[in-house]
Amino acid sequence: MRRTDEQFDELLRDLARREDPPLPPDLDERLEQVYARLDFAGQVAKQEERPVKRKISTLARVAAVAAVIALCLASMTVGALAFSSERVVEVPKEQEAIEIEDGGFSLILPDEWKGKYVAETRDGLCTVYVKSIYDWCMAREGFHDENGPILGQLFYVHRCFDEPMTKEEFYRRIPWPAFFLLSTEDGTYGLTEPSDVRTYLAAPIDYNSINMDDPEVREYVAQTEEYEEMDGQIADILLEVDGKIVGALRQNGKDGPESIDLDGIGISLILPDEWKDKYAVVRDDERGVYNVFCRSVYDYCVSENLFIEDVPGKFPLMGLLFTVSWADDDDASWTTVPGYELAHTEGGSYVMTLTSDVEYPSQFVDPETLEPTEWRPDDPDLAGIMREYPNASLEELVVMNRDYLTLYRSIRDIRLVLNGVMARALGSTIE
């Protein structure tokens, strides 16, 4: 059963508040089968026999269950679930495109741009406008000249330099906001943006100080909002060279986005900015499963040797954010936990499954504000909790608690790339 955005948000909030939330329904029987196959039940018992405080034992049990959920798809038939480069993922067709004949490449535009833009090429310079502003300017004296409208320009595509250069050289020399496109024998092409806002209202709209009853004001505001929306989607434009989609412009940006590339299956995950240096990817090559952890929690488990035994690759007790694996069409078990279908292919789907239990040291930040919890130094409860995390300072526990919640809550903002084609953010794919 697929969840709505609101249901998913509420689920995340609920999981953040509760220290030991129940597993989703209908998992008991399935988990018992998986426990039997991987002998996790015996392993958890071994963990509880160790001279470790109650909280660590609880987290070992919780993490073991979460690990079973994360690996349950891979545990059924290893051979069937291993990633294969022979599977072809479906991608969108018939997208809006601008062909740059001089450079031998095309720009594939976001689907939302259909009917909203105008592209004009003069003397090797392709200028792309917001259509509503373009039409408004062309219909009025003083708002256009022989080169076209004086407002509404989103970006320009042209040969910026008459010499080939690397992306690094391009960004060192380009004086305007820009994206590197490609380099040829004749020169280097880029997409440059205006250095000023090309709409009527250059400042943020103050709805309290403008007359929205005036039809012209409403028109200006609508056009400005449309400009800002399209301007924010420029990085999602795809570059196509020789009939092959190279990737989204954001991947050619000056710094480039954080991304996870799933080798051989045509899938990449473009991560939110706040993920930079805060995640770790551990691949189970035997099963073809990608496990993504919160870096600070992962590092803590590694430093303290807190792993689930008998799981390949030293699986940490805490810190798991999500797992990417392949599910047979006949296996719907992944739909009983939070997750997303990334792409469908013949016989099954690549899916992302999220953990359904507490996977980080909790109680150290407020789950709503992410501000540190106020503790008195002599509070016996704090002392008891601190003993449950060997060798960790309160500051480190705050960081782990905050990092995990920050990443987990922004999983829905991860953008999916299928065979070079940028799809929407994961959160917009829930039905």
pLDDT digits (tens, 9 = 90+) for 248-278: 888 777 776 677 877 667 788 888 888 988 9
pLDDT at 41: 32
End position of a domain, from candidates 252, 280, 299 = 252
Count structural domains, the chain. Answer: 2
pLDDT at 295: 95
273 and 316 within one domain: yes
Residue 272 lies in a domain: yes
CB atoms within 10 A of CB 308: 21
Residue 92 lies in a domain: no
Residue 338 lies in a domain: yes
Min mean pLDDT across 8-17, 27-36, 236-245 is at 27-36
Average pLDDT over residues 153-159: 93
- Give the model's confidence band at 417: pLDDT under 50 very low, under 70 low, under 90 confident, else very high: confident
405 and 345 within one domain: yes
pLDDT greater than 90 at residue 131? yes
Q: How far apart are CA 126 and CA 120, in angstroms?
A: 6
E-strand spans in 211-253? 238-241, 244-248
Integer CA distances (angstroms), 135 to 139, 203, 246, in order: 6, 22, 33
81 and 110 within one domain: no
pLDDT greater than 50 at residue 15? no
Q: Helix (H, G, I), strand (E, B), or coil: what is residue 101? A: coil
pLDDT digits (tens, 9 = 90+) for 299-311: 999 999 998 877 7
Residue 259 lies in a domain: no
User: Is the CB of residue 156 less than 8 Å from the CB of residue 147?
Assistant: no
Residue 257 lies in a domain: no
329 and 225 within one domain: no
403 and 273 within one domain: yes
What the block records as the tokens of 145 is 């000249």
**Residues 6 or more apart whose Cβ sits within 8 Å of residue 272:** 258, 410, 413, 414
Q: What is the pTM of this model?
A: 0.53
Contacts 24+ apart (CB under 8 A), 108-115: 108/237, 108/238, 108/239, 108/240, 108/245, 108/421, 109/237, 110/233, 110/236, 110/237, 112/229, 112/230, 112/233, 113/230, 113/233
281 and 211 within one domain: no
181 and 140 within one domain: yes
Residue 401 lies in a domain: yes
What the block records as the tokens of 7 is 């249901």
Q: How far apart are CA 178 and CA 192, in angstroms?
A: 4
pLDDT at 101: 87
What the block records as the tokens of 292 is 């993504």
pLDDT at 52: 33
Residue 258 lies in a domain: no
Residue 119 lies in a domain: yes
Q: Which residue range(s) make up the domain with 305?
A: 5-87+265-429
287 and 235 within one domain: no
193 and 117 within one domain: yes
CB atoms within 10 A of CB 36: 11
190 and 153 within one domain: yes
pLDDT at 49: 37
User: Is the CB of residue 158 less than 8 Å from the CB of residue 170?
Assistant: no
105 and 61 within one domain: no
156 and 44 within one domain: no
Average pLDDT in the chain: 75
